[in-house]
Every structure is written in structure tokens, then in C-alpha cells.
Structure 1
Amino acid sequence: MNATEPRGRRLPLVLRNSSFGRVWTAQLLTQAAGRMFQVGAVWWLVGFAAGGDQRGLESGLFLLVSTLPAVVLAPVVARVVARHPHRTVLAGAAAVAGAVATAAALTAYAGDLPMAAVYAVGLALASCQALFDPCLTTSVPELVDDADIEAATGFELSTQSMAGLGGGLLGPLAVDAGGLAGVVTTCGLAYLLAAVLVASARFANAGTAGDGRGSTPGGEAATGTRSAGLVEADSGRENAQAPGTAHGTAPARRTLSQVLAGLPFVRRVLVCFAAANLFTTAVYVVMPLYTRGVLHSTGSTVAALEAALGAGTLVGSFTGARVPGRPTTVGSACLALMAMALGLPGLVTTHMVALGSMTVAGWCVGVIGVRFVGLFQRLVPAADKPGFFAVMQALLGATFPVSSLVFGALGDHLTARTLCLAQGAGLVPVAAALWWLGRRTQPDGRRTAPGIAAAHPAPTGEAP
């Protein structure tokens, strides 16, 4: 590509680079299938499964086993990604997931799928996805030229929202139309197609563990593709050129505890968001319970609520950088707004209020993610970014299983309206804590205020 060629004439990366386009499409298929099965299975457990005395606990347990692999298997994933050809890992993970879903579909068509089998399928699919996503992140430099790293990262990070929106929308609808068998059949086809796409792609230097840009498979493998993944490609590239190196030698890799110990402000912010996640991620349990017990509606309503949440997150991701104010001020305001949005359906029980609340809550999530990942990108030293974002993903991800189990169990004893109010009430002290944390940060020299740091992207490695 000629450097003088107008950028406006360039085709999108997924069309210019067929190998990356195939692998990115495979990621979109696998994530959409995983989300479709997760949301569809929860709706099936709440609305269709026999023996409904513990529907909340059963759906909470399912979400727990579906989210644990991304946290628990991080060290194993790091070793697998570092030691094996990436195309083999990606195609193998998708093929195994497709085989599991196909076997579950055949069992479901032959008769009822046992509850234990639903949990097992969810665990297996989540384990395959926990391997697929970070492996793709690590293999991006093998698929695109250095000049296209940013474009590839943009496509990769958009997948989570797109797949979540599509999968969350189709899952409940598929259950209403064809039961759980219809969901797992569709998921199986998507996974198998993804495996074929990856196998047909060309990977440069396939199987090498470190070629400069992709020299941190261990750290990147643990980060997944959620909010922490917003800076993975930049992290790997900056780490290869480590600004903090002395005489051209790479700095010694610090342990994860040492990284966090040197960033007390960032550590406290992460604790705030981990606490917030205990209440925000409960929405995936509360939404189906609210639809069935309060709105007395069908899977189409669950799909609409999922779509509203996903659409709001997309809009927030695109508009977050334009929201004025320091990150801590914006973050605390968004948490307070989210508290009202999540609690409002507990007071006003209409479809429109629920849809509006999910849209606003999603927008807040998107804005917070953009502002704080950008802040962490500037404050964390380049050499520490792979380890830091691994910790960030593990810390924030670990709250999802706990939240699912707690709110699922509470759903068998409390009304869905009460759970909505509990979500909103739980976010209020977290919003206050984040606001207080921002107020006590002084913009003087080494102790940089978050707003100053965001306005002057010159990371020094000093704790703000």
C-alpha cells in the first residue's frame, strides 16, 4: 500500500487482509455462539425447565460455571498459547466447542437434556472461548502488518459488543422457537464454521512465541477480550520498544504484586470497579427473572433488554471520550446514574422503563470503560502493561461468578423488583468512594491528578 494513497480509498482491513478477515469472522462467530448459548440457557432455566422452585439459583450457578474458566484457566491458557502454533490452538478450540455443542444438540433432540449436561456444556464452551480469545489477541501480529495493528485491534475489540448484542438478542428467541435444542444446534454450526475459517487462514511465523510485537503471550493470554483488552495490541508493541529500557536492554519483568504496589491510585480504582461489578453484572440474572416474574413476558422481551444493554454500551464506547470532566468525576457520575437506571425498574414496572434503564446502564458501562482504560494506558509503565491488564481482567472477571451465584440464590427468596433496588443501592456507596478518591488526589508534580494525567499523556510510572 502506497503511503501517499489517500486513507479514504483504503478498503477495511477485513477485506484487504483475507486471513485476518477469516479469523476475525471466526471470533465473531464463536463469541456470538457463546453468548447465545449463555443467554438462551438462562432463559430456558428460568422460563421452561422443569422443577422451578430454584430457578434463580440454577441460573446463577449456570452463569458461575460459564464465567469461571476465563479467570481460573488464565495460567493454563498462557502456557498453551506460548507453546503451540496459534492457528492450531484457535482452530482446535473452535472445533472442540463445535463438537460439544453438536453432541448436546443430538442429545436434546433425542430427549430432554439433563440439567447437569447443560452446566457441563456451558463450562466446556466457556473454556474453549477462554482459550480462543486471548490466543487471537496474541496472534494479531502474525496476521497483519505493523501498520495495520491499530486497525486490527479496533476490529477485534468491536467483536465483543457486536457478538454480545447479536447473541443476546438471538438466544432467548431461539429458545422460544425451538427450545434448548435449537440454541445448541445453531451454536454448534457457528463453532464448526469458525474452525474451518481459522484453518484456512495464513499465519506468518505461526507457532513462534516472541517476535517483538507479540512477545508477551503469557500476559496477553490472561487478559481476554473484555475492557482490559482495549490496549492489548498497544501494550505488546510498546513493551517491545520499552521506553524505560536502559542501554537498549529490556527491563526486568516485575511480578504482578510489584506492579500494583507501585500504582496505589490505580489499585484503589480497580477495587472500586470490582465492587461495582458485583452489582452491575447481576443484571444477567435479574433480567430473565424480572421478565418472567414482573413483566410476565416471553423471550422476545429478554432479547430486547439484552439488545438495549448492548446498544447502550456501543454508544457509550463511541461517545465516552467526548464526555467532559476528570475520569474519576465522570466515573462516579456514571455509577450514580447507573444506580438510578438499575433501580428504577423496581419502582416502575413497564416494558419501556426497563428498556430505557438497560440502555442508560449500558451507556454508562461504555463510557466508564473508555475513560478508565485510557487512563490506565497512560499511567501504567509500558513494560508493566501486560501483567497489569492480566490482573485487571482477573480481578474484574472474578466478581461475575460471585455476583451470579449470590443474586441467583437471592432470586429464589426475593422478588425481582427487590433485586433491582438492591442493585441500585449497592452502586451508591461505590460511586461515593470513587468520587472521594478523585477529590483527594492532588495535581502536584509526581502525584498527578487523573484529569491532568488524561490531558497530558506522558506516563512516568509514578503513582498519581
Structure 2
Amino acid sequence: MNATASPTYSFADLRRQQAFMRLWAARLTGTAAQQMLMVAVGWHMYELTGSAWDLGLVGLYQFAPALLLALYAGHVVDRHHRGRILAACLAVQGLVALVLLAAVMWPAGAADSRGLLLGLSLVLGAVRAFQMPAQQSLTPLLVPPAMLPRAMAFSSAGQQAAVIGGPALGGLLFVAGMGVVYGASLLLFALACVLALLLRYAHTPPARESVTAATLLAGVRFIWQRKPVLGAVSLDLFAVLLGGAVALLPIFAKDILHTGAWGLGLLRSAPAAGALLMSIWLTRTPIERRVGRTLLLAVGVFGLCMVVFGLSTSFWLSLAALAVSGAADMVNVVIRQTLVQLETPDAMRGRVSAVNGIFIGASNQLGEFESGATAALLGPVGSVVAGGMGTVAVALAWFRLFPALAQRDRLSAPPAPR
């Protein structure tokens, strides 16, 4: 092959690649720490109270501050260095892990209480209001637009590897005690914080802009005016709000599938295992055609998997159902996130990502509360099965409610007519 045909890379390209890999490593370690922390908090709470309602409250207490701060957080992210914001968020979560470590090591156990877990859940929710838009809006700064779908899939592969490894490692470390899990989370948060502080990219502070209702709601208006984007983010909201079962996994592990903390770790990791395999596939063969239809079908498959999981009394069938649900959800994540980032100018990415974060937070943290509340009324099996059926219904309804999304062929926007 002629040497001139080989691609050439400038020093700037090399620095962008290095920065992207640092971000990837920071997300990997930070996500592993978050997952270990949340597995520990969920098991900790259930050991203390044995209440599905309290497990739901952990999610609600994380969602409430994230919702209240989201729009302001997006404004902050668009004005300041996103890498430093990410580092600060990771540092605060490390402090939460430190407090919990001190609580379980307290000689008399006085600080080891339900109120402490709920109070720290408020802190975690507030921090993640800033972390999510900062983290999501960094990737488009570090890769060219043509490579964004692959970069999103590659980032998701690393994140899902952490979601697998974090809970699985946390479940194993429970053998040595809950304090060991909190201590390991603290070390991983510290490493992720250092990696985030090392991020370098061209940052030009925008002109001073006062905080007004118009600036805070700019991301909301942007999404509302773009129906394919609105359809994609609202689909994720309702699908995971109804179909999520994460908050109930301690109940399924202990009372239905009859496993211990190790089984809970595997159940938490199973969706990520499927998601990891799917993200590796999407890194090599990104979805290029019929993206809207593929997105809606993937959400429908996710709902069906939740029905199977809810009805299963076999540990291995439950793991398989969760793994397939994770693969289907990864298709949803990559298409949705790439669509949002490609259609958003950089000056708006923080605020748009913050609004997207509200939808994601509602589908995750509020979904945990919904699962706990419905489980208190219908039982855990009834809650998961009803939620899965509701998710399938939402996917079918979105074909009709958002035809622009269902008919979307490619991730990039079609050229405007002349």
C-alpha cells in the first residue's frame, strides 16, 4: 500500500484521543464505584428495615434533588470547565462512601441508621444533577461528529463493564464485611477524580449570562421543538419508569430466588453483561438505517424481558432475562444519546443534557420509588410483571404518537429542503 494512503494524525488529534481515553477511564472507575456503593446502600437498607417501601425511598431521595437542581446544573455546565465539574462530583461521592464506611465501623452502631442512608441519598442525587450533564457533554468535545456513534458505543461498553464489575465485586466483598465495600468504593472514586482532573480540552468561557427563566428553560424548549428527540427521551422515561426492577432486586434475591448478597451482585450485573456485549457489537457495526423503528422495538423487547423476569422462579432464567433486557436497553441508550448530541450545538449541550438527565433520573430513581410503592400494593412479582406490560404498551403507543421518530431512518438529521 502506498504510504500516502495511510491516515495522518496531528498533535491536536493525539491530544483529543488521549483526553477521550482519560474520560473513558474516569467513567469506568467512577461508574464501578457508584454501582458498588448503590448495591451496598440497597443491601444495607434492606438489612436494617426489611422494607420494600424504604428501598423505594432511597430512589426517591436521590431523584428529588436531581430534579430540583437539573436546570441550574445544565446552566453551570455550559459556563464552566466540564472536566472539573465531573471531578468535583466524583470527590463528593467519595466523601459519601467515607461517611458510610465510618458509620458501619462505629463501635456502637449509633450512626448506622435508616435516616443516615436517606440523608446521604439526597447528597448523591444533588451531585448527580451536575455529573450527568457534565459527563455526557464532554464526549462530543473530544471526538469528531462522524465518530460520535462509535464513541458513544465504546463509552457505553466501558460503562457497562463497570456496571458488571462493580456489583459483582461488591457482592464478593460483602463476604469480608460491608465496610470493605464502602472502602473499595472510596478508593475507586478517588482514582476517577484524579483522572477527571487530568482532562484537557479547549475551553473558552462564554460571555457572562445572567441566570433567568429563559436561560434555564432553553434546554426544555430545544427538546420540545425537536419531536424525534422529545420522543426518544420521553420513551426512555416511561419505559424504564414502568419496567425497571432494580430497587426490588434485594427482595427477589433473598425471598424469591433464595440467594444471598452474591446472588444480588450477579442479578445487578446481568443487565450490564447483556449491555456490554451489545455495546461491543454496536462499536463494530453501528446502527445506520431505520434507527427510529429499531429504538421502539428495542424498548418493547426490554418490557417483555421484565415480564419474564417477574414470573421466573429460576435464578438462571432470571439472569438470562435481565441480560437480554440490558442488551435491548443498550440499543435504546446508544441511539438516544447519539441522536441528542448530534442535534445539539455545543453551547447548549449542558442544558440539553440536564433535561435529558431529568428524564433518565425520573426513569431510574423515581422508577425505584414506583417499584417499591407498587410492590407494597401488588407484591414484587405483580409490580415487575405489570411494569413490563406497561413498557410494551408505551413502545407500541410511541409508533403513533411520535411518527417522526418511528420513521427516522438515520441518526444524522436529514438535510433541510431548499
TM-score, length-normalised on structure 1?
0.72
The aligned runs of 1:186-335 (5 Å cut-off) are 186-199=184-197, 201=198, 203=200, 208-210=204-206, 255-264=218-227, 266-281=229-244, 283-319=245-281, 326-335=290-299
CA distance in structure 1 between the aligned counterparts of 2:399 and 2:201, rounded to whole angstroms: 47
CA distance in structure 2 between the aligned counterparts of 1:162 and 1:401, rounded to whole angstroms: 21
With over 3 angstroms needed to count, the CA separation of the structure-2 counterparts of 1:373 and 1:37, relative to structure 1, is: closer
Per the alignment, in what secondary structure is the counterpart of residue 363 of structure 1? helix
More divergent stretch after superposition (331-340 vs 17-26): 17-26
For structure 1, the residue ranges without an aligned partner over 5 or more in a row are 219-251, 442-447
Whether 2:71 is the aligned partner of 1:72: answer no
Report what 1:56 is aligned to.
52
Give the counterpart letter for 2:264 in structure 1: V
Answer whether contact 2:19 2:201 (CA < 8 A) is retained.
Answer: no
* Deviation readout 1:10-44 (Å, 9 max, x if unpaired): 9xx99996666555433322222112111221123
Per the alignment, in what secondary structure is the counterpart of residue 73 of structure 1? helix
Whether 2:327 is the aligned partner of 1:363: answer yes
In the comparison of the two structures, how many residue pairs are matched? 403
With over 3 angstroms needed to count, the CA separation of the structure-2 counterparts of 1:279 and 1:106, relative to structure 1, is: same
Answer whether contact 1:325 1:451 (CA < 8 A) is retained.
Answer: no
With over 3 angstroms needed to count, the CA separation of the structure-2 counterparts of 1:14 and 1:25, relative to structure 1, is: farther
* Deviation readout 1:361-384 (Å, 9 max, x if unpaired): 111111223344455567x47589
Report what 1:100 is aligned to.
96
With over 3 angstroms needed to count, the CA separation of the structure-2 counterparts of 1:15 and 1:264, relative to structure 1, is: closer
Per the alignment, in what secondary structure is the counterpart of residue 107 of structure 1? helix
* Deviation readout 1:243-301 (Å, 9 max, x if unpaired): xxxxxxxxx999345434533454345434322121223x1112221111111111211
Report what 2:387 is aligned to.
423
CA distance in structure 2 between the aligned counterparts of 1:377 and 1:22, rounded to whole angstroms: 20
CA distance in structure 2 between the aligned counterparts of 1:23 and 1:456, rounded to whole angstroms: 24
Shift of 1:96: 3.2
Answer whether contact 2:35 2:166 (CA < 8 A) is retained.
Answer: yes
Answer whether contact 1:327 1:375 (CA < 8 A) is retained.
Answer: no
Report what 1:392 is aligned to.
356
For structure 2, the residue ranges without an aligned partner over 5 or more in a row are none
Per the alignment, in what secondary structure is the counterpart of residue 454 of structure 1? coil
Give the counterpart letter for 1:274 in structure 2: L
Shift of 1:348: 3.3
User: Using CA pairs below 8 Å that are at least 6 residues apart, which structure has the higher relative contact order?
Assistant: 2
Give the counterpart letter for 2:319 in structure 1: L
Per the alignment, in what secondary structure is the counterpart of residue 42 of structure 1? helix
Shift of 1:305: 1.7
CA RMSD, 1 decimal: 4.2
The aligned runs of 1:366-377 (5 Å cut-off) are 366-374=330-338
With over 3 angstroms needed to count, the CA separation of the structure-2 counterparts of 1:136 and 1:17, relative to structure 1, is: same
Shift of 1:82: 5.0
More divergent stretch after superposition (333-342 vs 302-311): 333-342
Give the counterpart letter for 1:458 in structure 2: P
CA distance in structure 2 between the aligned counterparts of 1:163 and 1:14, rounded to whole angstroms: 26
CA distance in structure 2 between the aligned counterparts of 1:80 and 1:324, rounded to whole angstroms: 34
Structure having the higher Rg: 1
CA distance in structure 2 between the aligned counterparts of 1:291 and 1:7, rounded to whole angstroms: 52
* Deviation readout 1:417-460 (Å, 9 max, x if unpaired): 2223112221232122123347xx4xxxxxx6754642885243
Q: Which has the higher helix share?
A: 2
With over 3 angstroms needed to count, the CA separation of the structure-2 counterparts of 1:8 and 1:435, relative to structure 1, is: same
Whether 2:376 is the aligned partner of 1:412: answer yes
In percent, how many aligned pairs have the same letter? 23
